[in-house]
Amino acid sequence: MPIKSLSASSLVNFQKYSSMLAGNTAYVPPAYYHLATYTVTGSAETVIEFTNLDTSFASTYKHLQIFAVARSDRSGAHNEPYIIRANSDSGSNYSWHSAYGYGGGSGAGAGANASYLQISDGITSASSATGTFGATLMDIPNAFSTNTYKTFQTLNGYASPGYGITIFNTGNWRNTSAISSLSFEPLIGTNFLVGSTISIFGLKV
């Protein structure tokens, strides 16, 4: 319907605002972004690696969060650790601690001056229930800092009839370089099985 009189429409209410928002709520942009996901498809793979992380994301993101769902081809066991290397560094620059519970008890583990960061019992293997994958929720704060060593913390594990483990892991990579790449591989088995998925998310400041 045509408006014949502007003063009778809602377009003119003579309200004055001291702010450019004119009474509207300020837009707050999202802080949490999906950066990359890799899923093993077709055939099993030995290593999952994300590269160019610093050149692609360092200028925009502060922290990284990683979700991993993984199963390996290790035989005769329900689970196994996987290992992480940053920037392809295989020097003795990693250490970690873990606290775990498996129903029958609890314990702790550690590694010092290792050539990889270990995520203990983070993936399932052949003896676990068919279709059950290990799960990891991992935080890497300040991943692109060039002033501090890099730290990793996880809550991970799996559950299967009669077996299962829940683990808190924390560790570091003693290097002040920004993280440019992250590689993941089973420690004992040879391959990640089809369906294994690792996702990386970035948090802005």
Partner 1 sequence: MASPSMIPLATITMDTNTQSSIVFDSIPSGYRHLVMRGNILRTTTTSGILVRYNDNAENIYDLSALGANNSASTLTVNETATTGQAFYWVQPGPTEPTPFEITFLDYAQTDKNKTSIIRVGKQTNAVLGTIQVWRKTDAITKINIYSAGSAYDIGTTISLYGIG
105 lines the binding site for partner 1 (CB under 8 A)? yes
Residue with Cβ nearer partner 1 (164 or 171): 164
What does the alpha-carbon distance between residue 193 and residue 42 come to, in Å, rounded to a whole number? Answer: 9
Give which of 198, 95, 114, 111 is closest to 156, Cα–Cα.
Answer: 198
Residues binding partner 1: number (CB under 8 A): 46
CA torsion, ordered 56, 31, 173, 57, to nearest 10 deg: 10
Residue with Cβ nearer partner 1 (157 or 189): 157
Among 44, 58, 69, 187, binds partner 1 (CB under 8 A): 69
Give which of 131, 202, 118 is closest to 167, Cα–Cα.
Answer: 118
Minimum gap (Å) between residue 146 Cβ and partner 1:
21
100 lines the binding site for partner 1 (CB under 8 A)? yes
Minimum gap (Å) between residue 73 Cβ and partner 1:
15
> In the chain, what is the straight-line distance between the N-terminal and C-terminal CA atoms, in Å?
48
Tell me which residues in 144-203 interact with partner 1 (CB under 8 A): 155-168, 194-195, 197, 199, 201-202
- Write phi, then psi, for 40 (nearest 5 degrees): -75, 120
Are β-strands 197-203 and 63-70 bridged in parallel, bridged antiparallel, or unpaired? antiparallel
Q: Which residues would be at the binding site for partner 1 (CB under 8 A)?
A: 30, 32-35, 37, 57, 60, 67, 69, 71, 99-106, 129, 131-135, 137, 155-168, 194-195, 197, 199, 201-202
